[in-house]
Amino acid sequence: MKAARPPRWYADPARLGLAALAVSAAAFFLLPLYVMAITSLKPMEEIRLGHLFSWPTQLTLDAWHAAWISACTGVACDGVRGGFWNSVSIVLPSTLIAITLGALNGYALAYWRARGAALLFGLLMIGAFIPVQVLMFPLVRMLGPLHLVGSLAGIVLVHVIFSMPIMTLIFRNHFAALPRELFLAARLDGAGFLRIFVLLMLPLSVPMLVVAAIMQATGVWNDYILGLVFAGREHLPMTVQLNNLVNTTTGTKLYNVDMAATLLTSLVPLAIYVISGRWFVRGIAAGAVRG
């Protein structure tokens, strides 16, 4: 007797329920984004009418232009573009240095059993869970005399320091999961610490490097408090400028400019999420499951 073909998936009520849940959850999270987007495209007169969800009758990019070029962020009135470039110049070195050092640390911890490696790893584990705020004041006191507070080098250093536990952790687990015989074979072949790292370990870690770069870059871009405390007036990141812009009220509150500036600020992490969604999911899994 021939067995009956199982029903197709769309006929399954459980699947339909799941789809409905997914759609409503997406709507719940997309609704604020929708409101922000359309508000940023409306002129102020239309916003004053108070129809929060209605499609703009006349679309204009004036608010976006103002947010980028001329909106007041405190005393200065030249938009958030300065903050954008500040953030870029903070994110790039912080990410490059942090993943390089993290990979190197993780590699050393996983393969070169130095004396006290276990203790160091334990301390790093604890370090990964200490809230940033606890360490802020001591760090200011430490870096102040070194003239590192209020400089680009200072904020980059602080970001690198705070990311070191998690970066080391990620890479140590990654390297510990590689077959150890690869490392032993390279040792027997006569390769040393750096040759093995550069020619063997790094090429085998490209997915992990991408994931770490995504995590670090979004983390640093979204940072507010460290930028506020350590970056100094010359290098305020975009998030701090955004806050200043939204809180600077001279005359009427320009909701469309606020919304445009907020969207501009979140554009970079958003782009990272969208472009590298697949990698990002893998990164979350690596952080959550391994370890």
Partner 1 sequence: MAAVSVRNLRVALGGQPVIEALDLEVADGEFLVLLGPSGCGKSTLLNAMAGLLEVSGGSIEIDGVDQTWASPRDRNIGMVFQSYALYPNMSVANNLSFGLRARGMPRAQVEERVQRAAALLQLEPLLARKPAQLSGGQRQRVAIGRALVRDARVFLLDEPLSNLDANLRASLRRELKLLHQRLGATMIYVTHDQVEALTLASRIAVLHKGRIQQLGTPAEVYARPANRFVAGFMGSPPMNFLEGTLTMNGGVPHFTAPGCEFELRDCDFGAAAPMAGEAVVLGVRPEQLRIAAPAAWSGVVTLVEPMGNHQVVWLECGGASWSVLAGSDARHQRGERLPLALATGSICLFRADDGTLRGVTA
Judged by CB under 8 A, the residue of 195, 224, 267, 290 near partner 1 is: 195
Select 135 or 182, whichever has its Cβ closest to partner 1. 182
Q: Positive or negative, the Cα torsion across 232, 130, 89, 240? A: negative
Does 184 interact with partner 1 (rule: CB under 8 A)?
yes
Q: List, in order, residues 6 or more apart from 222 with CB less than 8 Å away.
A: 239, 269
* SS3 state of residue 130: coil
Q: Which residues contact 143 (CB under 8 A, 6 or more apart)?
A: 149, 154, 157, 158, 230
CB closer to partner 1, 41 vs 186: 186
Min CB(114)–partner 1 separation in Å = 13
- Residue 269 · residue 111 · CB < 8 Å: no
Q: Does 198 bind partner 1 (CB under 8 A)?
A: no
Distance CA 160, CA 179 (A): 29
CB of 280 to partner 1, least distance (A): 24
Shortest Cβ 278–partner 1 spacing (Å): 21
Nearest residue (CB) to partner 1, 140 versus 191:
191
Task: Name 73's bridge partners.
Answer: 76
Q: Which is nearer to partner 1, 68 or 175 (CB)?
A: 175
186 near partner 1 (CB under 8 A)? yes
114 touches partner 1 (CB under 8 A): no
Does residue number 187 form part of the binding site for partner 1 (CB under 8 A)? yes
Q: How far is the CB of 225 from partner 1 (least distance, A)?
A: 40
Asked if 284 touches partner 1 (CB under 8 A), the answer is: no
Binding of residue 12 to partner 1 (CB under 8 A) = no
Do 201 and 175 form a contact (C-beta atoms < 8 A)? yes
Give the whole-angstrom CA distance, residue 203 versus residue 240: 37
Of 45 and 181, the one with the shorter C-beta distance to partner 1 is 181
First-to-last alpha carbon distance for the chain, in angstroms, is 51
The CA-CA-CA angle for residues 55, 241, 243, to 5°, reads 65
Residues that bind partner 1 (CB under 8 A): 179, 181-182, 184-192, 195, 199-200, 203-204
